[in-house]
Amino acid sequence: MPDHDHDHDATRPGPATAPEARAAADERPAPPARSRGAALGGWVLTISLNVAAPILTYNALRDQGWSEFAALLASGAWPVLDSAVHLAWRRRLDEFAVVTLAFLVLTAVVSLVGPHSAKALLIKDSAITGLFGLLCLTTLLAPRPLMFYFGRKFATDGTAASTAWWNGLWEFEGFRQTVRTMTTVWGVAYCLEAAVRIALSYTLGTDTMVTLSPILIYGVLGVLVLWTATYGKRARRKGEERAAAAAAAVAQG
């Protein structure tokens, strides 16, 4: 006599493996411990070299009789130094560093072509941030969008454990959707920011724009970072709620 119970069990799907169950429920693993001091130091260094130092350098050189164009170009050395410091600190060249260096090279090339007036350089600099926005939107067609790599830089401390944890999150659908949404918002925001700065460069004086331009750049960045942190926490909370609901369903079953 055939074993009907055995046949029935053979056709029934078996229990999901632990990774599959976590992915289905969006139960993401907790991040490893990270150094808060190192993360805070990185943010302070970035803001100092990309906001405060360029403005102070420009004003000091203008007081020494430098032309607007020369002072503006010289103040751009600080972001280059910032990239070099991070590269030496992490001792590896990751995707974020590649994008940063590529834009530095692009900025230098754009600065050398066409008119060499200070106003023209400000307009070109605005166009660069617009290109960054377009790059964000373009990477939505890639296997992993740009904000995945930016998030890995600022959400981890660069150690092998924290990097592996971040890379492993990509298996969760909720995480993938969150990163794609962030990339879309950042891309659209920087395209709009570039358009506003280009318009202001035509209507305001150069001295005013030298001070206003970094404020706009990093003001938009600050708003985006705040929104990203809030949106990320909300997305994670929803993922935890789905995981809890899935666990309850399994327990009842």
Rounded Cα–Cα distance for residues 33 and 160 (Å): 12
Is 234 exposed, middle or buried (CB count within 10 Å of its CB: 0-12, 13-18, 19+)? exposed
pLDDT of residue 137: 95
Measured in whole angstroms, how far is the alpha carbon of residue 221 from the centre of its chain? 10
CA distance 144 to 136: 11
113 exposure class (CB count in 10 Å sphere: 0-12, 13-18, 19+): exposed
The domain ranges of the chain are 35-252
For residues 107 and 76, the answer to whether their CB atoms sit within 8 Å is yes
Report the C-alpha gap between 126 and 202 in whole angstroms: 12
Q: Range with the lowest mean pLDDT among 103-117, 163-177, 180-194? A: 103-117
Give every CB contact of residue 146 below 8 A, 6+ residues apart in sequence. Answer: 99, 135, 136, 139, 183, 186
Binned at pLDDT 50, 70 and 90, residue 236 comes out as confident
Q: Is the dihedral of CA 96, 98, 101, 103 positive or negative?
A: negative
Q: Taking the model in full, what pTM does it have?
A: 0.64
More confident residue, 23 or 69: 69
Which of 131, 147, 121, 150 minimizes the C-alpha distance to 193? 131
Structure tokens belonging to residue 54:
């360029």
Asked whether 217 and 240 are in contact (CB, 8 A), the reply is no
CA dist., res. 120 & res. 117, Å (int): 5
Binned at pLDDT 50, 70 and 90, residue 104 comes out as low
Q: Which helix (H) or strand (E) holds 4?
A: helix 4-11
Cα(216)–Cα(118) distance, rounded to whole angstroms? 18
Closest among 160, 182, 178 to 169, alpha carbons compared: 178
In this model, does residue 133 exceed pLDDT 80?
Answer: yes
Helix residue spans in 91-159 (DSSP H): 95-112, 118-138, 146-155
Q: What is the pLDDT of residue 91?
A: 63
Query: 144 versus 49: which is more confidently predicted?
Result: 144
Rounded Cα distance, 172 and 131, in Å:
30
Mean pLDDT of 43-66: 80
Q: Which residue has the tokens 């106003």?
A: 119
Q: What is the amino acid identity at position 135?
A: L
